[in-house]
Structure 1
Amino acid sequence: MKINKLIYIATGWLLIGTPLHAQEMLTKSDAVSIALENNFDIRAANNDLEISENSAKITNSGYLPNVSGSAGTNFSRTNSDLTLTDGSSTTINGAPSSDASASLNLDYTVFDGFGRMYDYKKLKENYNLSDLQSRAVMENTLVNLFVSYYEIARLSENELNQKQTLDISRERWLRAKYSFEFGQNSQLDILNAEVDYNTDSINYLTIVQQLKNEKRNLNLLMGRDVSITFDVDTLIIFEENLDYEVLNALAMEKNATLNIEQGLLRNSHYDIKVASSSMIPKIGLNSSYGWNKNKFAPGNFLSERQSTSLNIGASLTWNIFDGGLSNTRRQNAKLAAENQLINVERTELDLERQMQNAWTVYQTALFVLQAEKKNLETNYRNFDRSKEQYGFGQITSIEFRQAQFNLLTANLNYNQAKYSAKIAELVLLQLSGTILEAQF
């Protein structure tokens, strides 16, 4: 296939990949709002949180009494042969009889050795843990969301830079053709220009495809139709005056992972109390009210009887010795609490390591960003000068191509540095537990 045909096909693809009308502008705040409402992980976490909230209510605590009611009735027909005291006899066939009863029962544990109280505290703590886990899901979703969002922003700017490079290469190719026609260039200049133009076309197509794929990824994260097209805001706002000591203190106070481990530690102490409660006497109250009605068959001394009853009682239960089961549960609960304390200490140390690493990455990213910015400015000046010299024939096309390539590389490197620095900042804010209040 001839090189000009390749260029024609590539140009056709470029036109197809270029939007002919304005697309939806997906702002950062819009992306956050859509994700918080539709993201699958967040929706599932919210349901889990609601389950924990329901479980932490007083109705699930064991503090309220148990009230039960029952009612029943029986009916029968009896055939009887009766002999009276005077020696006479009689026969009764199909004599009806029935009885009906109803009762209302109440049981209440007045004191259970404080086990109920600590179980209820565990339910409350479980709700707090679910809230923290829901927050952790939101934080992870936000980080993933903006990693994807900023990748789209980076690719969008790279697409623009690559398109500008492609336009320059096409202009150079046409210039080489016209110069050859007037005898000012050789066929080699045209071939070099064609190869460079075709290379830039392929690079542009690759960026366009990467951009489309990343937009589908972001749509999936937001829980919406993956085929929706949109543009993103490429403006980057960095947090000002970030201080490591302040962030580190916030991390030890607000980091979701550490808070979860601390909540699990509190629950492990409640488990010890619950296990110990089985060795303490328990006091209970019970009461019942009953109603009974009997209709006797003919031939009985009574034809009908109706009665009501009210019972009130109290009980004391003490597990004096259960073969050592309660003591074993308490010892195991203490050991589990010691292990959870180890987990908290390990998480604190690991968080400090992550904070130091993240801070180093962030500081390095800011330095690289400033260096790439200066490098880009230098390459712009170099390209402008090279373009002028190329127009006057003072440098070769190869030298001009090198200046063009250097400018493109500087642009790509600057974009990478810019968004890498922002992502490094977000990771630092996530570790410090403040990402939900961050600027995006």
Structure 2
Amino acid sequence: MTRDLSLDFQVEDEMKLDTDLKLGNLIEIADRQNPQIQLAIINNRVAELNLKAVKAERYPKIGLNSGYNWNESHSSLGFSTENKNRGLTYGVSASLNIFNGFLQNRNERIAKFQIKGSELQIQQQKQDIQAQVRTLFQTYITNMELAHVERKNEELAKENLNITMDKFRIGTITTLEVRTAQLNYINVMTRSYTAQYDAKVSEIRLKELTGETY
């Protein structure tokens, strides 16, 4: 984790589950924030800009140029021993592509096909992500319900263990029955923690898919 070894921290001993996830909200958030969908949208924008750049080849091209000349010469002979020339130069040029063998039309068609393809890619990505969200949400609901049931079972097993220990103290049951109650409680706790872990994994995977932080 690249954490400073001298940094003091505490690990939470309780797993907190997000019980407020809603399918409709998750799908809406995924459409806005999923990285794969966002990448497809960016590719679509790039394709649109490319079409504009291709169409710009039809328009006249204007060029501007300017310069400044300075020249100085010296001579020891003749009537003029020193000559200096200074001057600003500037100009405007224009060009227009009259015919390029139908290459312009072909390039524009290709650019339009790229836009159409990128639009289809966006829709395909949205459908794929929505399908994944729906599948993961059903897994999340199942795991949340299982975690709830196992927590109830853990409470019952704890209560049963307490009753068993009370009976053992007054001498009405054997150590074997105490051991059985203890093992049952440990097994129920294990199932409960496993169910909570599975529910948390489902929650994290959903939030990763929608582009949310957790």
- TM-score class normalised by the smaller sequence: 0.7 to 0.9
Asked whether the equivalents of residues 389 and 395 of structure 1 are also in contact (C-alpha less than 8 Å), the reply is no
> Which deviates more from structure 2 when the two are superposed, residues 299-308 or residues 423-432?
423-432
What displacement does 1:327 show?
Answer: 4.1
Secondary structure in structure 2 of the residue aligned to 1:307 = strand
Question: CA offsets per residue over residues 14-47 of structure 1, 9 Å max, x none?
Answer: xxxxxxxxxxxxxxxxxxxxxxxxxxxxxxxxxx
Residue equivalent to 1:342? 120
Secondary structure in structure 2 of the residue aligned to 1:278 = helix
CA distance in 2, matches of 1:227, 1:423: 30
Asked whether the equivalents of residues 379 and 406 of structure 1 are also in contact (C-alpha less than 8 Å), the reply is yes
1:309-328 superposed matches below 5 A: 309-328=87-106
1:130-145 superposed matches below 5 A: none
Question: CA offsets per residue over residues 120-149 of structure 1, 9 Å max, x none?
Answer: xxxxxxxxxxxxxxxxxxxxxxxxxxxxxx
1:35-74 superposed matches below 5 A: none
CA distance in 2, matches of 1:224, 1:241: 32
Residue equivalent to 1:290? 69
Asked whether the equivalents of residues 284 and 316 of structure 1 are also in contact (C-alpha less than 8 Å), the reply is yes
Say if 1:331 and 1:420 are closer, same or farther in 2 by CA, change over 3 A.
same
Aligned: 1:416 with 2:194: yes
Residue equivalent to 2:36? 257
What displacement does 1:401 show?
Answer: 3.0
AA paired with 1:370?
Answer: H
Residue equivalent to 2:139? 361
Residue equivalent to 2:162? 384
Unaligned runs of 5+ in 2: none
CA distance in 1, matches of 2:51, 2:66: 33
Query: Aligned residue pairs: how many?
Result: 213
Q: Percent identity?
A: 27
What displacement does 1:278 show?
Answer: 1.9
Unaligned runs of 5+ in 1: 1-219
What displacement does 1:389 show?
Answer: 4.5
CA distance in 1, matches of 2:183, 2:107: 71
TM-score normalised by structure 1 residue count: 0.44
Residue equivalent to 2:59? 280
Residue equivalent to 1:52? none
Of structures 1 and 2, the one scoring higher in RCO (CA 8 A, sep 6+) is 2
CA distance in 2, matches of 1:227, 1:422: 29
CA distance in 2, matches of 1:242, 1:299: 96
Say if 1:404 and 1:260 are closer, same or farther in 2 by CA, change over 3 A.
same
Secondary structure in structure 2 of the residue aligned to 1:252 = helix
Asked whether the equivalents of residues 244 and 359 of structure 1 are also in contact (C-alpha less than 8 Å), the reply is yes
CA distance in 1, matches of 2:139, 2:84: 86
